[in-house]
Amino acid sequence: MTQAPTSRDTAEALQMLLTPQFIRQMEKLDIASRKLFAGTLQGERRSKQRGQSVEFADYRNYVAGDDLRFIDWNLYARLDKLFLRLFMEEQDLALCVVLDVSASMDWGDPNKLLHAKRLAAALSYIGLVRFNRVHLYAVANGVVEQMPGLRGRRPIPKMLEFLARQRPAGAGSFPAAARGFALGQGHKGVVVLLSDFLEKGDFAAGLRYLAGDRFDAYAVQVLAPQELDAEKAELSGDLALRDVEDGFEAEVSISPLLLKRYREAAEGWCRHVRSECNKRQIAWLLARTDNPVENLVLDSFRRIGLLN
């Protein structure tokens, strides 16, 4: 089993992610949302909502109690009717990055947890430089740690330090993690869950906490190439395998037939996760750890509508 990187190793890896070239590319991106949310602070986002900024959007009929300052008197002189001027509102967007730090994430070459941290760092960076509210969560069997309400460039080092110090936190439960996050999250917005979704229980029970009008949810399934194709793990002979989360042990004899069945089962599990997400209008993406973060951010995330 691949050992989890140390906090120092992770911090260095995250800093290496933010290369000048990658930063220039990310500066052109923004978090997208498929749903309409009302922000609470002035941001750089052009909202579909009507507000009171300087850019004209539309008219509507005046009703008693409206602010007289926004009546178009020129239009009244021509039509003898009162109309109110409406303007485009610039609003911020809440971005919640939920990082699975359960023990199963501490595996793979490249390591799943480090890969997920780097994806979280890239998404958080984009959200911060676009002046969106960024909320970070580390989850396993519930919420392990959180850092809510980051905004602007100044908290970028704090964001990186938060991600760097996250360590594998034992057995995980996706339903408990999703419930803990949803019940503690008071903001509507975009939610990106970074997890391997390796759950023995009914993981779909957790998806209901992310479905509905509160969140525009994205499930990014982070898996190592050895998990998708056991031949890449170079296993052979008779082995005793142990689950890192619940301690369950199984004895297996490696054979071409077993490897074939394992590959089919792994592919079937990914299809199942995708299907359960799609039923609830949660976008799904497979993020292999051998697919560079830059490719995922600049191509895959844009393709599923998370970035524009």
* pLDDT attached to residue 205: 94
Q: How confident is the model over 1-18, as pLDDT tens digits?
A: 445 556 666 667 677 677
User: What's domain 7-36+93-303's architecture?
Assistant: 3-Layer(aba) Sandwich (3.40)
Q: How confident is the model over 166-200, as pLDDT tens digits?
A: 999 989 999 999 999 999 887 789 999 999 999 88
The encoded tokens of residue 266 equal 């792994």
Smallest CA-to-CA distance from 103 within 234, 9, 35, 198 is with: 198
Smallest CA-to-CA distance from 40 within 91, 110, 116 is with: 91
Torsion sign over Cα 65, 70, 73, 75 = negative
Supply the pTM of this predicted model: 0.81
Contact 129, 22 (CB under 8 A): no
Q: How confident is the model over 72-109, as pLDDT tens digits?
A: 888 888 888 888 776 544 456 899 999 999 999 999 99
Considering only residues 127 and 213, tell me which one the structure prediction assigns the higher pLDDT: 127
Quick one: average pLDDT of 274-281? 96
pLDDT at 50 over 60: no
* pLDDT attached to residue 47: 46
* pLDDT attached to residue 40: 45
pLDDT at 268 over 70: yes
Q: How confident is the model over 24-49, as pLDDT tens digits?
A: 999 999 999 887 565 544 444 444 44
Tell me the percentage of the chain whose pLDDT exceeds 70: 85
Quick one: average pLDDT of 230-249? 86
* pLDDT attached to residue 62: 76
Sorted by where each begins, the domain ranges of the chain are: 7-36+93-303, 45-91
* pLDDT attached to residue 103: 95
